[in-house]
Chains A and B, each alone.
Chain A
Amino acid sequence: MLTTIIESLRTRFPQSVLEVNEFRGETTVRVRKDDIVPVCTFLRDDPAASFDYCSDVCGADAYTPEERFQVIYNLYSMTHRHRIRLKVSVDESHPHCPSVTAVWPGAEWPERETYDMFGVVFDGHPDLRRMYMPEDFAYHPLRKDFPMMGIPDSIPLPRK
């Protein structure tokens, strides 16, 4: 089932599917960053795929010279009951990624969380604020170069 979806994805977007991985029965498709919105729209609307449920959007810090940030989309189909994972790479110098909130409104908060934790800016997001940390916080805590205990005095405490 998933192989036919990937085939149709390859024929439809020959430039954007970069790599397909299989591990423990789960399929991960690396997609070019600029094409993520058309790919997602296709995956949602294609009747064979119909990934109508955006289970999760999250970021990761690869922290290698070639690649810095990843944005990962875990998708699920209510009708066919299968899963797929999409992955895009985001540069450190220009941490921008197109937002998929137009495809799945449910991606709004996970994208905000990714912005908060990694500093990846989602272009086209309706309300890109920090999800968890206070607005005056200047760092992105899940980056690998952020220390576990944080930066001292970066968040003010009330006076005793």
Chain B
Amino acid sequence: MNIDQAMEIRQQKILAALENKNTSVHFDDALDNEMVLNMGPQHPATHGVLRLLIKLDGETVVACVPELGYLHRGYEKLAENMSYHEYIPHTDRLDYLSPLMNNTAYVLAVEKLVGIEAPKRAQYIRTIISELARISSHLVGIGALAMDVGALTVFTWTFTERERLYDIFELLTGARFTTSFTRIGGLAHDMTPEVAAAISAFLDTFPAKFHECISMLNTNRIFVERLEGVGVITREKAIALGLGGPNIRGTGVEHDIRRSEPYLVYPELDFAVPVSTGGDSLSRYYVRVNEVKESVKIVRQCLEKIPAGPVHANEPKKVLPRKERVYTKMEELIHDFMLVNFGVNPPVGEVYHAVEGSKGELGFYIQSRGEGHPWRLKIRSPSFMNLQSTPHLIEGGMISDIVAVLGSLDPVMGEADK
């Protein structure tokens, strides 16, 4: 099949889906008919390579068909072909706005499958990095939303704060972006006092800076009016469609996995679950803003409470040994060889473990047949489910609201397309 025929088949199927939505497509007279608009996959407001086919009656959106898959990288096939340890760097690139969160979510699922638990200190550090990742993700989410509705300045400000977080990540993990910091049964290495000092220095100045950013938006009439009452979804529909994270909490559902199915050290911490009842884009924005404030609180508490101790579980047959011991100790060398060549070999079974990611419920479903690599690994990505609601949010609205709705959903195509 040549490329022209292939492109024709792809177009026909998508247009047919648009036709199924009780609309008709005629291309005879542009003024007389409804118009089909193609948005993306290269569009500044679709946050990546999302493609929307929109049918317009004047400026009103009659029907909308999202088209995904422009970033489908075959993550699940990759997972079936590599060991549990090898897959950790791949989780970085799922939700690339918060790589540390994905690292944590994945190793928690594998640890549940293997049946081990990381020591307390490692769990505290995981909580800290998860919350810092949440802050850094929401900073881009808020900034990009502001940019989509026309306020570029806020994006440069929030990104400056994000750069400071990058510096902390670099100090902690050695990489500013793709961190691959967690390991099965622990972490790559311990958090040094310099990192803790850098984090607390960041926390001292960040709230004031963040307040500056959001006060630019909260009192901005254009920003508020472009989001208020736009992209409304009811509480029942949000649950039925499987929305997650700030998007479902923006409809008044107090659903937060940190609270409902606690993991890591969240039960020991004092934090609130921000909820907003509007169900519109502005509510989703407010939930994100309040979540950042709560995350700051959580990290502060963790830094106070963090105990001393090891960051690796004492399970030599499951946890990769430290490199310096591999080179000097016989036992560790054997364990390292076995772990690298044959893998962790968890028992036969299947687990699903979900964490509250920055976009919603980030879950890993793993089927194991007792081998060193997963038989099947399914990523339950929150952005995928959030994007499912776009037709419901957009249809009936104005064309200029599409960018506001997409910005408030905050999708990341890396995890939506897998």
Contacts and interface: CB of A to CB of B under 8 A. Distances in A.
A, B: real partners: yes
Interface of A: 23-24, 26, 28, 52-56, 58, 60-61, 72, 74, 78, 81, 83, 85, 104-110, 113, 117, 126-127, 129-136, 141-142, 144, 146, 148, 155-159
A17 B345 CA distance: 30
B221 interface: no
Contacts of B384: 109-110, 113
B78 to A, nearest CB: 8
Contact of A78 (B237, B255, B351): B255
A81 B349 contact: no
B10 A134 contact: yes
Contacts of B17: 127, 129
A141 B81 CA distance: 13
15 contacts: A24-B349, A26-B352, A55-B354, A55-B363, A55-B380, A56-B352, A60-B367, A74-B352, A104-B242, A106-B242, A106-B388, A127-B17, A131-B69, A136-B9, A155-B6
Contact of A136 (B10, B14, B115, B388): B10
5 A-B pairs with least C-beta separation: A106-B242, A132-B69, A132-B72, A23-B349, A58-B378
A135 B418 CA distance: 18
Which of B68, B378, B380 lies at the interface centre, i.e. has the most chain A CB atoms within 10 A of its CB? B378
B351 A23 contact: yes
Nearest to A127: B17
Which of B5, B81, B349, B417: most chain A CB closer than 10 A?
A: B349
A106 B1 CA distance: 35
A119 to B, nearest CB: 15
Contacts, number: 118
B253 A117 contact: no
B363 A24 contact: no
A61 to B, nearest CB: 7
Given A55-B363, A130-B69, A135-B10, A141 B240 contact: no
A142 B354 contact: no
A9 B240 CA distance: 22
B385 A109 contact: yes
B350 interface: yes
B415 to A, nearest CB: 13
Contacts of A110: 384
A18 to B, nearest CB: 16
A5 B17 CA distance: 39
Given A131-B68, A146-B77, A156-B2, 13 more contacts: A23-B349, A24-B113, A28-B350, A53-B242, A74-B352, A74-B363, A78-B239, A105-B240, A113-B384, A127-B20, A133-B69, A135-B12, A156-B1
Contact of A56 (B260, B351, B376, B380): B380
B201 interface: no
Contact of B351 (A26, A53, A104, A130): A26
B95 to A, nearest CB: 16
Contacts of A107: 242
A27 B350 CA distance: 10
B3 A156 contact: yes
Contacts of B354: 55
Contacts of A55: 242, 352, 354, 361, 363, 380
Interface centre among B1, B9, B240, B384 (most CB of A within 10 A): B240
Nearest to A72: B365
B77 A148 contact: yes
Contacts of A155: 6
Contacts of A141: 74, 77
A28 B367 CA distance: 12
Contacts of A106: 240-243, 385, 388
Contacts of A157: 3
A85 B255 CA distance: 20
Contacts of A74: 352, 363, 365, 380
Q: Which of B13, B68, B376 has the most CB of A within 10 A?
A: B376
Contact of B352 (A52, A83, A108, A144): A83
Contacts of B418: 132
B194 interface: no
Interface string B54-77: 000000000000001100101011
B204 interface: no
Contacts of A146: 77
